[in-house]
Amino acid sequence: MRILITGATGQVGSHLLWRLWRGGHEVTALVRPESAGRWRYLLPRIEQIFGPVPCSARGPIAVSGDLRLANAGVLSPWIAAHRGRIDAVIHTAADTRFHPVRREDQWQTNVQGTAHALALTETLGAQRVVHVSSLFVAGSGGHTLSETELEVGQAFRCPYERSKFEAERLAQAWAARTGISVTVARPGIVLGTSGTGTTLTYPHFFGFLRAIDLFAQRALPGESIAVDLPPHARPPLVCVDDVARAIEAALDAPLPPPCLHLFDPQSPTLEEIAELLRGDAAECVLHFGPQTDASPAARAVLSWLRQHRAFLAAPPQAENEMTCAWLASRGVPPPRVTAATLATQRAAWHRESQRLVTGAAA
């Protein structure tokens, strides 16, 4: 298949790019001019972290673009030369900061950028789109979002959630107007691969691990942190390879699904995560209860938790039975995240931080 992908230098896009490349697809990545340097090293890097790609597979190429601009910043001669030559567009690019300094910048990338990506799709004549949204479009409000719903009167806890919701609404309206098939993929919080824990970048959950490691280095023996969070809350976790596998399956399907909820509803609770972190870091890192005075060592963890508190205390509520049934019909296993998966992620993060330290020292 001839595929145009946005966001290939990001956490999700880079793994997808590697998967599509390995799968023999003809892939073009829309890359911002300022990220041309990162693109140059991307292919060897993703082979190094995810595994070798057969020499026979045609290497992905890049086209320069920026979602904030009309035609996604792609020059007209390229568009003219590729009209009718792209089968599918996978739109993963976004400004993924929960609290951007200027929310209008994020809106421009996530909402107007989606409109530009879809307009480019239409001009190119591609007949299939996967729009990567987020489970966080469920917002807060207590409703459990199904794969057939979007607008359910939810409230949004940050500009990111609202922008992803608006982008998805726009994608659905565009699909209804053009008749072009759009699959919306809504991942939960994305981890590294299920097998090795590796990923190109280590955001979100890994920020928490980074803070815990800092605590472990600085804490007094036996010191722990009190957190005012519900121990039984389950952050909706998913491994990056499960996200990529589902998107690839949607591309191949004769009848693509309208929406996929990509997370494991049984992924570990906050209490189970805390249990996993206990042991090698400190005697007892996190315990649940009213927050008391923070020691200097605990501050990094508490500052991370403060920024993410709303999402941890009330994670988005969503169903995923329809997704699992559809994945099963395509022979794809459902997303799965166990305590062992998290231990693997942690080990990968430790290897990565070692690499960064030794790389920086070299």
Ligand X SMILES: NC(=O)c1ccc[n+]([C@@H]2O[C@H](COP(=O)([O-])OP(=O)(O)OC[C@H]3O[C@@H](n4cnc5c(N)ncnc54)[C@H](OP(=O)(O)O)[C@@H]3O)[C@@H](O)[C@H]2O)c1
Distance CA 314, CA 249 (A): 31
- Contacting ligand X within 217-256 (CB under 6 A): none
Q: Is the dihedral of CA 27, 31, 33, 35 positive or negative?
A: negative
Contact 264, 333 (CB under 8 A): no
d(CA 220, CA 105): 42
Site string for ligand X, 273-312 (x = CB under 6 A): ----------------------------------------
Whole-angstrom distance, CA of residue 297 vs CA of residue 280:
16
Maximum pairwise Cα distance, the chain: 66
> Token digits for 3?
């595929």
Q: Which part of the chain contacts ligand X (CB under 6 A), choosing from 173-181, 199-207, 330-338, 344-352?
A: 199-207
Interface with ligand X, residue 11, by CB under 6 A: yes
Using rule CB under 6 A, residue 60 touches ligand X: no
For ligand X, the binding residue among 93, 126, 175, 250 (CB under 6 A) is 93
Kindly state whether residue 27 participates in binding ligand X, applying the rule CB under 6 A. no
- Which residue, 90 or 298, is less far from ligand X as judged by CB? 90
> In which residue are the tokens 């979002």 written?
145
Map the footprint of ligand X across residues 106-165, applying CB under 6 A.
109, 113, 132, 134, 164
Q: Which is nearer to ligand X, 74 or 301 (CB)?
A: 74
DSSP state letter for 254: S
Which part of the chain contacts ligand X (CB under 6 A), choosing from 92-100, 169-177, 249-257, 293-301?
A: 92-100
Closer residue to ligand X, CB minimum distance, 225 or 349: 349
Beta strands 181-187; 259-262: pairing state: parallel
Would you say 296 and 122 are in contact if contact means Cβ atoms under 8 Å apart?
Answer: no
Smallest distance, Å, CB 38 to ligand X? 6
Nearest-angstrom CA–CA distance, 227 and 231 = 9
| CB of 281 or CB of 315, closer to ligand X | 315
β-strands 225-227, 189-191: how paired?
A: unpaired
Pick the stretch among 172-180, 183-191, 213-221, 306-314 that binds ligand X (CB under 6 A).
Answer: 183-191
Which residue shows structure tokens 């879809």? 118
Contact residues: ligand X, CB under 6 A = 6-13, 32, 35, 38, 66-68, 92-96, 109, 113, 132, 134, 164, 187, 189-190, 201, 203-204
